[in-house]
Structure 1
Amino acid sequence: MLSQPLTAASPMAWILAIAAAIAYALPALTTQHLQETGARRCLRLAWALHALFLGWGLLGEFPRFGFAPALSITAWLVLTVYVVEQQLYPQLSSRWPLSIMGSLAVLLAVVFPGSPLHVDASPWLPLHLALGIASYGLFAAAVVHAALMGHAERQMRQGADHDGGLPLLTLERLTFRFVGAGFVLLTATLAAGWFFGEQLYGKSWVWNHKSVFSLLSWIAFAVLLFGRNRFGWRGQSAVRVLYIGAIFLLLAYVGSRFVAEVLLERVA
């Protein structure tokens, strides 16, 4: 197995990343002084700068990809969901955790930009990667909504007013919609890797830790959706299964790439 050291991000990538991180951080650092309208504008500006940063990393002079860009794209997709949902549910309020998540994700991606993408790769490989990352984003959105749902439930038990912005049943419905959509994309991603692995990566399906964790995550989400539809699973029991599946999915690609890029300091 050949390896090569990781190279640093370009100056343009650093400029875009720092600008996006500052725009993300403003709503969190100035919570008491920035009005809700101003905070939303900052988040949208950060979202746009983040998109430019991702585009530069994937389509720029030296395209590259790795565990940190995967997390960065996932965070950007979650924020995309947030921007859309704010149009449908203006009362939605979770700018502080999303600001922190966006800042950390974009800075992590510029510190660990990943490995150069091979120019001789299959033309279908970007589609396969897009399906996988999109499933990451949808499951991440489900986890965020599940966390909001758990917060709302705790407030209800304590007799406090729910300040999460959305009713509990709406949060639950959105959570499982994201799980269902993510499961469809994850199934398509695994099916493509199983049937077309040789065309995509030059080798057929290999049973390694990445494929094992991917399959475990698929099983966890399948069990969750079956239990929801057949037995009406809801509440914390269902959320625990969601978290287990999300952890398996995180370990599948991000975990393996983190070990190679950070702990081993190389690109396999």
Structure 2
Amino acid sequence: MILAIPSPLGVALGIATAAAYGFIAAMASRLTRQTAQGLLALAWLLHGLALAWGLTSGVPHFGFAPALSVTAWLVLTVYAIESRMFPQLAVRRVLAGLGAAVVLTAIVFPGTPLHVSASPWLPLHLALGIASYGLFGAAVVHAWLTLRAEKQIRLVAGPQTGVPLLTLERLTFRFVTAGFVLLSATLLAGVLFGETLYGTAARNWKWDHKTVFSLLAWVVFAILLIGRARFGWRGRTARRVLYVGAALLLLAYVGSRFVLEVLLHRAA
């Protein structure tokens, strides 16, 4: 799920996935809803196969691009489920473009091998962290949809045919809450079992960029949930806090690994 292997079959699956996503993004306005949904489902399946191939063959790799790839796949999974309940959701072009970009990035930057002394439980720990990325990513998408719905309400006086604004708002905070729970579990596991997960060379606690940005993101999301529960935060205020937290979380792992892998050309 969270691993990438630079093998010929893995590259072929990645290219096929990116091509499917790219076709949807380019032709979305000309495709019927049913056709677009079917093609997006095919691209999602290819994406899942590419990720599964990374789990079952070769030496496991992990990096910023595979993390982004899985995050996008999780967001698309959420969209696939929600589009059944809310057919009015119309973000196929955006999500398809995002999928194509991250899959191609994962082909170019497949990550670095996991440390040989790492625990067999490390993939589960990483999966929890990336799952929280996916849930917060879904929350950001829904916050953007909420903003778009608000603009439509201001500009159009007639009846609205999209997903109700309050429904989008509730969905946004449900994803934030679920992401916060997984992020808390990930951080707690890192604090309590860091040496077990990463090997004897690792300390239980290390004040590096990943730790600092992760804790800052956790604090921001906690403030957002408290503000929602105690003060009824919504609209622009809630979105701004959500965007800040998501940006900090993105910097925590993806940002630090991007610097190490791409700019400094060395493993973490």
With the shorter chain as reference, the TM-score category is over 0.9
CA distance in 2: counterparts of 1:8 and 1:134, whole angstroms: 20
SS in 2 for 1:171: helix
| Greater RCO (CA < 8 Å, at least 6 residues apart) | 1
Letter in 1 for 2:49: L
**What are the within-5 Å matches in structure 2 for residues 97-176 of structure 1?**
97-159=94-156, 165-176=162-173
How many angstroms apart in 2 are the aligned matches of 1:11 and 1:179? 38
CA contact (8 A) 2:71 2:134 kept: yes
Give 1:155 deviation, angstroms. Answer: 1.7
Conserved 8 A contact 1:58-1:65: no
Tell me the residue number matched to 2:59: 62
Shift of 1:52: 0.9
User: 1:163/1:261 Cα in 2 relative to 1: closer, same or farther (>3 Å)?
Assistant: farther
Structure 1 residues 164 and 115: CA distance shift in structure 2, 3 A: farther
RMSD, matched Cα: 1.7
Q: Which amino acid aligns with 1:235?
A: G
Report the counterpart of residue 4 of structure 1 in structure 2: none
Q: If the length of structure 1 is used for normalisation, what is the TM-score?
A: 0.93
Partner of 2:211: 211
* Structure 1 residue corresponding to 2:70, chosen from 70, 73, 80: 73
After TM superposition, list the pairs within 5 Å mapping 1:1-268 onto structure 2. 9-159=6-156, 165-202=162-199, 203-268=203-268
Rounded to whole Å, the distance in 1 between the matches of 2:219 and 2:141 is 21
Measure how far apart 1:120 and its partner are: 3.6
1:31: Cα distance to partner? 2.5
Distance 1:134 1:107 in 2: 21
Unaligned runs of 5+ in 1: 1-6
SS in 1 for 2:28: coil
Verify the 8 A CA contact 1:43 1:99 in the aligned structure 2: yes
Deviation at 1:9, TM superposition (A): 1.9
Structure 1 residue matching 2:213: 3-state secondary structure? helix
Displacement of 1:196: 0.8
SS at structure 1 position matched to 2:139: helix
Secondary structure of the corresponding residue to residue 30 of structure 2: coil
CA distance in structure 2 between the partners assigned to 1:189 and 1:164 by the alignment: 39
Structure 1 residues 164 and 124: alpha-carbon distance in aligned structure 2, compared to 1, 3 A threshold: farther
- Mark the runs of 5 or more structure 2 residues left unpaired by the alignment: none
Note the alpha carbon deviations across 1:192-251, whole angstroms, 9 max, x for none. Answer: 001111111132110111101000000000000000001100001011000000011000
CA-CA distance at 1:70 after TM superposition: 0.2
Q: List 4+ stretches of structure 1 deviating above 3 A.
A: 160-165
TM-score, normalised with respect to structure 2: 0.93
Deviates more, 1:18-27 or 1:256-265: 18-27
- Alpha-carbon distance in 1 for matches of 2:132, 2:228: 19
Q: Secondary structure at the match of 1:31?
A: helix
Mean alpha-carbon deviation: is it higher for 105-114 or for 154-163? 154-163
Shift of 1:105: 1.0
State the alpha-carbon separation in 2 of the partners of residues 164 and 126 from structure 1: 43
Matched AA of 2:26: L
CA apart distance, 1:71: 0.4
SS in structure 1 of the partner of residue 47 of structure 2: helix
| SS of residue matched to 1:230 | helix
1:162–1:185 CA distance, 2 compared to 1 (3 A)? farther
- Report the Cα distance in structure 1 between the residues aligned to 2:143 and 2:189, rounded to whole angstroms: 29
- Check the 8 A contact 2:213/2:251 in 1, yes or no: yes
Aligned mates of 1:243, 1:220 — CA distance in 2? 10
Report the Cα offset of residue 164 of structure 1: 7.9
